[in-house]
Structure 1
């Protein structure tokens, strides 16, 4: 029985190790669309034996495009308004296939390579970043999906906290469509998004 138990434990360990080893060290995140991908979503530039430039999709290397044949979504380039012109120095984006112009960065140019392992926490409201998970964020209970908090002094968990804020949408009246925020413990309310709601888990950019 002991041999069987050791064998099972070894198999479990190997399975966990394989899972860890198979997980890529990086992934790609799109800051415009919020999408993420394990494979590089950008076209890769290469040259044939005669020096001709072509592009291929790393997710499907059989999709090859010659210069000037790029699909519309990959045809955006970044440029800057020339000196002496209105909005001089400002960045804009031009599509070489459709001739479309945009001040907003297209999704196809918004992919960033991120580390899968190096994580930090960033506050979208204050701009603050920290290495350790902020107590304000709380934790999500896997069984119920509810958020709970841990008292940093006592180590005790609680469903209620002064960091427990809820966003409320105004449906009627002159402020319809706007949001305000209610603290479920203190019952305070504010139109400004609380700092506690600004924290997000973020991966280090490579």
Structure 2
């Protein structure tokens, strides 16, 4: 900024201070906005760059398919949509059931999420399959099933109990409750979503 002449009036001094304050505020605004805005941009350019960033953020939120967003929304609104968008995680694998003396137990650990839906199948004297859901499911006959739905038709003496934890699940007794029915090479194949 140019030095004021010694003949500067109070009005000139106030105007110079306001200009200096605006320059500092512009630099502060550019620092808050971050790249691509820089302190040498004029205010209109910083506003344009900020709007472009909001438009891109809104477009990315909408592209996730979980909610719609617009660049005309406030930053607070866009930020809340980012945190409100839940992204489902999934994992799949196979595990060998272990006989615990009374039932076959299949344990899956090490997931990076808590499962809310599990689809599983395995070979046990025929194809076996089942679904676990944290919510309700409707059976073919219209009845509501809570938690577990057996898709297999063989074997009546099963406990069908799931224990869900923060990083996996334990399935107790899906395979026959008799040790002699299980084929040692049989695995349970599973897909977990959370």
Both proteins in one fold, TM over 0.5: no
Give the TM-score of the pair, scaled to structure 1.
0.23
Specify which structure has the higher proportion of strand.
Answer: 1
**Higher Cα Rg: structure 1 or 2?**
2
